[in-house]
Structure 1
Amino acid sequence: MQTITSQNLTVKINPKGAELVSLFNHENQTEYMWSADPNFWGKSSPVLFPIVGSLKNNVYRFEGKEYTLPRHGFARDREFAVEKSSENSVTFLLTHDDNSLKVYPFKFEFRLIYTLINNTLSVTYAVKNIGEGEMFFSVGGHPAFAVPLAENTNYDDYYLKFNKTETFKRWGLTNEGLIETQPFDFLIKTNILPLTKELFYDDAIVFKNLESTSITLKSDNVNQQLQFDFEGFPFLGIWAAKNADFVCIEPWCGIADAANHNQELTEKEGIMCLIANEIFEKTWCVTV
């Protein structure tokens, strides 16, 4: 387990999946991350790479060949190397190998960079194409934050406050985890999403191209809250396992296949493309 610290915070990251497992505020003695209770969902913040969400029939095609990948790809189950570390920052590295090339025919370097400054943790995804041709990929986050955050409060006491008032269109998911072809009205001219356990009984809430770039998880009954900044991520998921005490705020560069997708990787919605030796970087931040 890798640990980084600032004046008020201690952060722990598991090299398996370079997964954030603890964000502890010493000032108010609060753990902000979900405990990864396997009775509900045994993860706390898996990284999604080289795809986000599900593929149609778990299959994609590239240059006439078929490949199989599970939901959210393989990085979350791989052991990352610690490339460098300091008191307040650590960089994890995953590279292609013979096993990855069988299911994902691209040579890459994938870094996760965690940095603490005061009460803010920044998480940067850095993807480099070290092959000769174009590389196609998606990447995203899946951090699960504890709800409730304080004793003597309930799940229903909390809400998500977006930094923009807007009309939210929700993209539904099929039973196979694919994106429906048309969205439906979800929230009308508001910036508040009250949290309830029932909210997630129909799987994740998926948004595309929101005006908002920041969300605050809070309750009016306590001081503990967090601010989540995700500028530059075109897709956002909000999710919790059934009846579990957490909420995931998921910034994505990429999205599950649409129900009518032709399974061609290069034509996948939200797919990113890197030319040889090019580097892609994107950062989300959480402030507590």
Structure 2
Amino acid sequence: MVTLENAILKASVSPKGAELQSLFHKDNSVEYLWNGDPAFWNKHSPVLFPIVGGLKDNTYIYNNIEYNLPRHGFARDMEFVKERVFGDSCSFVLKNNEDTQKVYPFEFLLRIKYQLNANSVTITYEVENPGAEPLLFSIGTHPAFQVPLIKGTTYEDYYFHFSELENSNRWTLKNNLIAEPVDYFKDQDKLSLNPNLFYDDALVFKDLKSTRISICSDKTTHGLHCDFAGFPYMGLWAAKDAPFVCIEPWYGIADSINHNQKLEQKEGIIKLESGGSWNAKWSISCF
């Protein structure tokens, strides 16, 4: 485990999955990340790579060959190599190997960086293509935040606050695949939390205007901001009746129920040419 610290925050990152597992605010003594209780969900903030969401029949086709990948890919379960560790920052690297190429026939380098800045942590994803052929991938994040954050408050005391008024449809899921859109937001910038909000699985959006979603409460001044400018897809989720919520910015999305399973035609897939590099970043600010 790698520990990062500055005057305000203390964070822990595991080499397994390069996963952020703790984000503790030293001034207000609040832990913001979910504790990974397996009774509900044993993850904290997994990285989704090289796919986001589920594949139709857990299968994709590339160069007329069928390959199988589990939902959200394999990176979250693999050991990353610690590249650099400083007091308030670190980076981890994952490269293709014989095992990954059995299920994902691409050469890649995935670098994940964490940087503390005052009361925020910025997470940067860098993908490089060292191979001779184009690299096809998706990437996303899946952080779970404790709710309630403060003793004496309840789950229902909290709400999502969106940085813009939203009129987006929600895309329903059927067997972990994108099914159809339904009306959801109507000039709203607030969504109250309630366990039954997620009884029909994640809330998936393709066209949010917001680049920030916050978790707030009228019963406490403490909460957080999740900033994700540039990420085209968003999922909001919690396990059934669990005391956490996930804010999930994605570059990629699950297959649709009618997808032909060809990887190069997958919605949201990123094509990185030989020798190319790609990056994106998002952040969590605690207050």
What's the TM-score once normalised by structure 2's chain length? 0.99
Partner of residue 35, structure 2:
35
The one-letter code matched in structure 2 to 1:156 is: E
Question: Identity over the aligned pairs, expressed in percent?
Answer: 49
The one-letter code matched in structure 1 to 2:204 is: V
Per-residue deviation, 1:220: 0.7
Say which SS state the counterpart of residue 173 (structure 1) adopts: strand
Partner of residue 226, structure 1:
224
Instruction: Give CA deviations for 1:106-154 in whole Å, capped at 9, x if unaligned.
Output: 0000011000011110011111111001010000000000000001000
Say which SS state the counterpart of residue 91 (structure 1) adopts: strand
Partner of residue 69, structure 2:
69
Per-residue deviation, 1:223: 1.4
The one-letter code matched in structure 1 to 2:56 is: K
Per-residue deviation, 1:209: 2.2
Say which SS state the counterpart of residue 196 (structure 2) adopts: helix
Instruction: Give CA deviations for 1:151-199 in whole Å, capped at 9, x if unaligned.
Output: 100000000000000212100000x20001x311112111001000000
Cα distance in structure 2, aligned partners of 1:109 and 1:26:
34
Matching of residues 104-143 of structure 1 within 5 Å: 104-143=104-143
Say which SS state the counterpart of residue 156 (structure 1) adopts: helix
Per-residue deviation, 1:6: 1.3
Say which SS state the counterpart of residue 275 (structure 2) adopts: coil
The one-letter code matched in structure 2 to 1:242 is: K
**What's the RMSD between the two structures over aligned residues?**
0.6
Structure 2 unmatched ranges of 5 or more: none
Runs of 4+ with >6 A deviation: none
Partner of residue 86, structure 1:
86
Partner of residue 151, structure 2:
151
The one-letter code matched in structure 2 to 1:107 is: E
Partner of residue 171, structure 1:
171
Partner of residue 247, structure 2:
249
Per-residue deviation, 1:210: 1.1
Cα distance in structure 1, aligned partners of 2:166 and 2:101:
42
Partner of residue 259, structure 2:
261
Cα distance in structure 1, aligned partners of 2:258 and 2:130:
32
Cα distance in structure 2, aligned partners of 1:237 and 1:54:
13
Partner of residue 239, structure 1:
237
The one-letter code matched in structure 2 to 1:246 is: F
Cα distance in structure 1, aligned partners of 2:155 and 2:244:
8
Aligned residue-pair number: 286
Partner of residue 10, structure 1:
10
What is the aligned counterpart of 1:197 among 195, 198, 202?
195
What's the TM-score once normalised by structure 1's chain length? 0.99
Structure 1 unmatched ranges of 5 or more: none
Per-residue deviation, 1:216: 1.1
